[in-house]
């Protein structure tokens, strides 16, 4: 299940060390993760038998003139994972190697609505295209991971509901349909993209070595969270854990696609922000926001840059957004008590002041007298974040199943 993401075993530590370095010696491994040389040697031997690590020659002798040590390296050509992210209006796919580096990628903008069967056909086509690539000839395909929008049941491999694809059947069996049409018999996994994005941050991003954190992904329309609680990816009984976009933050706000009023995601949606910016033309005509070209007055990037330049109206709008973020995040902060919140998506360029304002407002909303250590940061990932997370999940899953990570 890739449950205990941060479980630190000696084997995992050894593999991660080798994965993050080029050529290493046994004594370097032993020293860096504080294990004995015989233990490091035993683990390495296991990895060599599995062909995941290779002996690649001899290094330089020590300054005392000792024997030249043997060098080891990850077998980069061992295998790869195909990760397919179905976004609200795009598909982003990658192939990831055992060092969790992107070997190949594919991006397609979806200009029209697609049924569940049409999406599966596209995914099979993309995966088959990767399989036929020159780089795939010497490598083994380990598994395929599909990241879905909306609510997915990873245990049954189905999509329960996706607001961006209302025509999808309820409980559509993505895993079975994909497996039936794909010409390789390998494991296929699915999950809600936000959970996989959290896995990606835990493995390659800002969530490394942190047991309690959440990612919050804000898209043009839609906010979701991926939760890592005590090192475990949280799913919830109804697969709804992380659906914080539907926290009601303003009962007088606009209607949300879920049918609720004033949901977090409706308040911070691009549509609503543009509406507020349009209204400001009358109330704050002197704002820098409206000094740009005629149509850029409602662009999100324009709002961020005007706020960074100190425009009072832009700052006021950003503070209002920060207030909604704080209210939208408050319940999950109280439920999970994260050390870190990683913001992904359309707000990553909103600037440091925005983050600090959300942090401050959050600390004032509840338990204001309790001092807490909670930091909010922006993710370094962009559109690849869903596929990257899915790829990391697939690779961890493979390492676990092979007993390489225990
Ligand atoms: Zn809603």
Query: What angle do the packed helices 352-365 and 300-308 form, to 10 degrees?
Result: 90
* Ligand 1 centre distance from Cα of residue 258 (Å): 4
* pLDDT at position 298: 64
Locate 205 and state its tokens.
């991003």
* Ligand 1 centre distance from Cα of residue 243 (Å): 9
Distance of CA 323 to the CA centre of its chain: 24
* Ligand 1 centre distance from Cα of residue 255 (Å): 8
* Ligand 1 centre distance from Cα of residue 241 (Å): 14
* pLDDT at position 8: 67
Q: Which single residue is written with the structure tokens 């329309």?
A: 221
Superfamily of domain 79-199+384-401 in the CATH hierarchy: ATPase, nucleotide binding domain (3.30.420.40)
**Phi-psi region at 142: left, alpha or beta (left = phi > 0; alpha = psi -120 to 50):** alpha
Read off the pLDDT of residues 292-349 as tens digits, 9 standing for 90 and up: 665 566 689 999 999 999 999 999 999 999 999 999 999 999 999 999 999 999 999 9
Residue 274: exposure state from Cβ atoms within 10 A (0-12, 13-18, ≥19): middle
* Ligand 1 centre distance from Cα of residue 254 (Å): 10
Pick the closest to residue 386 from 190, 220, 248, 255 (CA basis). Answer: 190
Integer-rounded Cα Rg, in Å, for the chain is 24
Domains 79-199+384-401 and 210-378 share a fold: yes
Q: What are the domain boundaries of the chain?
A: 10-74, 79-199+384-401, 210-378
* Ligand 1 centre distance from Cα of residue 257 (Å): 6
* Ligand 1 centre distance from Cα of residue 264 (Å): 7
Read off the pLDDT of residues 42-88 as tens digits, 9 standing for 90 and up: 999 999 999 999 999 888 876 666 788 999 999 999 999 999 999 99
Locate 289 and state its tokens.
């926001």
Superfamily of domain 210-378 in the CATH hierarchy: ATPase, nucleotide binding domain (3.30.420.40)
* pLDDT at position 392: 97
Pick the closest to residue 105 from 117, 119, 120, 95 (CA basis). Answer: 95
* Ligand 1 centre distance from Cα of residue 329 (Å): 14
* pLDDT at position 370: 74
* pLDDT at position 6: 54
* Ligand 1 centre distance from Cα of residue 146 (Å): 24
* Ligand 1 centre distance from Cα of residue 215 (Å): 19
Q: Considering only the top CATH level, what class is 10-74?
A: mainly alpha
What CA–CA distance (Å, rounded) separates 85 from 331?
28
* pLDDT at position 4: 59
* Ligand 1 centre distance from Cα of residue 263 (Å): 5
* Ligand 1 centre distance from Cα of residue 292 (Å): 33
* Ligand 1 centre distance from Cα of residue 262 (Å): 7
pLDDT block averages, 10 residues each, the chain of length 406: 62 92 94 93 94 90 76 95 96 97 97 94 98 95 96 95 91 97 95 97 96 95 94 93 93 90 95 94 92 70 95 97 96 93 96 96 83 91 97 95 83
Torsions phi, psi of 274, nearest 5?
-65, -35
**pTM value > 0.85:** yes
CB 176 within 8 A of CB 156: no
């Amino acid at each position: 299940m890739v449950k205990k993401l941060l479980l630190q075993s000696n084997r995992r530590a050894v593999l991660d060390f080798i994965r993050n370095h080029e050529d290493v010696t046994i004594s370097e491994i032993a020293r860096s993760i504080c294990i004995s040389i015989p233990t490091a040697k035993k683990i390495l031997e296991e990895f060599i038998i599995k062909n995941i690590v290779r002996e690649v020659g001899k290094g330089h002798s020590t300054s005392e003139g000792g024997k030249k040590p043997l060098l080891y390296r990850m077998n980069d050509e061992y295998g790869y994972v195909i990760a397919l992210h179905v976004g609200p209006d795009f598909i982003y796919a990658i192939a990831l190697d055992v060092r969790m580096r992107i070997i190949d990628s594919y991006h397609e903008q979806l200009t029209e609505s697609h049924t569940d069967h049409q999406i599966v056909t596209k995914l099979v086509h993309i995966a088959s295209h990767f399989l036929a690539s020159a780089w795939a000839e010497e490598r083994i395909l380990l598994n395929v991971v599909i990241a879905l929008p909306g609510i997915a049941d990873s245990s049954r491999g189905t999509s329960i509901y996706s607001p961006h694809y209302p025509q999808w059947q309820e409980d559509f069996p993505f895993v079975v349909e994909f497996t039936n049409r794909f010409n390789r018999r390998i494991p296929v996994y699915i999950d809600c993209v936000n959970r996989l994005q959290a896995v990606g941050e835990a493995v390659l991003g800002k969530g490394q070595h942190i047991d309690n954190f959440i990612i919050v992904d804000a898209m043009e329309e839609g906010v979701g969270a991926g939760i890592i609680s005590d090192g475990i990816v949280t799913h919830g009984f109804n697969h709804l854990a992380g659906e914080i976009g539907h926290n009601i933050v303003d009962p007088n706000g606009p209607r949300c696609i879920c049918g609720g009023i004033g949901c977090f995601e409706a308040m911070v949606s691009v549509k609503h922000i543009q509406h507020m910016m349009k209204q400001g033309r009358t109330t704050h005509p002197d704002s820098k926001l409206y000094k740009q070209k005629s149509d850029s007055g409602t662009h999100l990037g324009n709002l961020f840059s005007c706020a960074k330049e100190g425009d009072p109206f832009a700052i006021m709008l950003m503070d209002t957004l920060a207030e909604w973020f704080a209210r939208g995040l408050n319940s999950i902060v109280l439920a999970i008590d994260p050390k870190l919140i990683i913001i992904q998506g359309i707000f990553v360029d909103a600037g440091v002041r925005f983050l600090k304002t959300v942090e401050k407002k959050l600390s004032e909303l509840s338990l204001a007298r309790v001092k807490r250590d909670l930091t909010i940061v922006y993710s370094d990932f962009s559109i690849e974040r869903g596929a990257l997370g899915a790829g990391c999940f697939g690779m961890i899953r493979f390492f676990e199943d092979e007993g390489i990570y225990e």
